[in-house]
Amino acid sequence: MSVSSLGIPSVDADLEASVSSALDDVEQRLHEAVKSDDDVLSEASRHLVRAGGKRFRPLLTLVAASFGDIEAPGVVPAAVVVELTHVGTLYHDDVMDEAQLRRGGPSANARWDNTVAILTGDFLFACASDMLADLGPESVRIQARTFRRLVQGQLRETIGAGEGEDPVEHYLSVLTDKTASLIAASVRLGALHAGADSDVVDMLGDYGERIGMAFQLADDLLDIAGESALSGKTPGTDLREGVATLPVLYARRAARAGDERLLELISGPIADDSDHAEALRLLRAHPAMEEARREVFRWADDARAALASVPDVPARRALEALCDTVVTRTS
């Protein structure tokens, strides 16, 4: 199946046209929402917004809104809210990770400093809250519960697995909160403000949670097995930084005779280029990769199952096709 210029599977020309038009509106309002009278704050807040990105979350908001009236007044603001929230988390993530690059350019903490980056992230959260106030108490509740999960996931990732806790289960639970929760909220808010039935809103929220997990776990695989043009970053970035993603965790858990060198290499960050290349080679050939791929398939299948009872409209077919896309990315 072909992929449209929006980055979603091409299933219906009218759906693509309506989503594309709404996405243009989202982009305009996104830039307007981050304006500030303070020059430094205005420049810092526009820093990552102008850098672009896939706009995956607002895109899903708009596709979900196509189960109702995508032109309803709350739909585009809801899409802006989820993107503001996502971008705000990136500023904070870069500070915690001491990242120097983001979206192909200097991170905010590298261009300014950690304090400016943290306060800019806070400013974006405030901008999102301001827009939420006009969307009603149910939207505020969804956002608040999502934000609670975002913080909880980040904290648990920072602290690490507890004594006796399975590292794989800990990692998956972190991702459900840190990544999948906002994608689920994106879909839920789109359907809610488009006037979809409440049961459809709930089912789409379940879908968002599961497809969010599938996409993040697919990124884990692509970081090791993918090419730069496909994954959008240099292969092995997480591996080099010592970030233990699912394939690494599986390799540690199911170590075989002869894996001693691999285990040594993936025990922490890898500074040496030749060691990094060796680790990639060994991990790519390890059964852990196939085990991680099966986990992606499981989440994608669960996402598809969540759509079983929603109306059979073009938006449903687009969301189902996304399940195929995520699997194809890892093949």
pLDDT of residue 156 exceeding 90, the answer is yes
pLDDT of residue 103 exceeding 60, the answer is no
pLDDT of residue 112 exceeding 90, the answer is no
If you average pLDDT over residues 235-263, what whole number do you get? 90
Residues 6+ apart with CB under 8 A from 203: 306, 307, 309, 310
Q: Residue 115 — pLDDT band, cuts 50, 70, 90?
A: confident
pLDDT of residue 111 exceeding 90, the answer is no
If you average pLDDT over residues 37-53, what whole number do you get? 76
SS3 234: coil
Lowest mean pLDDT among 132-141, 173-182, 224-233: 224-233
Percent of the chain with pLDDT over 90: 65
Q: For domain 198-330, which CATH number applies: 3.40.50.12780, 1.10.600.10, 3.90.1150.10, 3.10.20.600?
A: 1.10.600.10
Q: Tell which CATH architecture fits domain 10-196.
A: Orthogonal Bundle (1.10)
**pLDDT computed for residue 227 by the predictor:** 64
pLDDT of residue 151 exceeding 80, the answer is yes
What pLDDT digit, counting tens, does each position of 275-305 carry?
999 999 999 999 999 999 999 999 999 999 9
SS3 161: coil
**pLDDT computed for residue 230 by the predictor:** 46
C-alpha closest to that of 6 among 101, 94, 79: 79
Question: How far is the CA of 40 from the CAs of 31, 100, 109, 117, 122, in angstroms?
Answer: 15, 19, 13, 11, 14
Asked if domains 10-196 and 198-330 share a fold, the reply is yes
Q: Can you read off the two tokens belonging to residue 173?
A: 């639970």
Mean pLDDT of the residues in the chain:
88
How far is it, in rounded angstroms, from Cα 304 to Cα 20?
A: 24
Residue ranges per structural domain of the chain = 10-196, 198-330
**pLDDT computed for residue 232 by the predictor:** 47
If you average pLDDT over residues 247-252, what whole number do you get? 96
CB 246 within 8 A of CB 292: yes
Note the pTM of the prediction, 2 decimals: 0.90
Q: Residue 233 — pLDDT band, cuts 50, 70, 90?
A: low
Q: Residue 12 — pLDDT band, cuts 50, 70, 90?
A: confident
Q: Determine the residue type at 182.
A: L
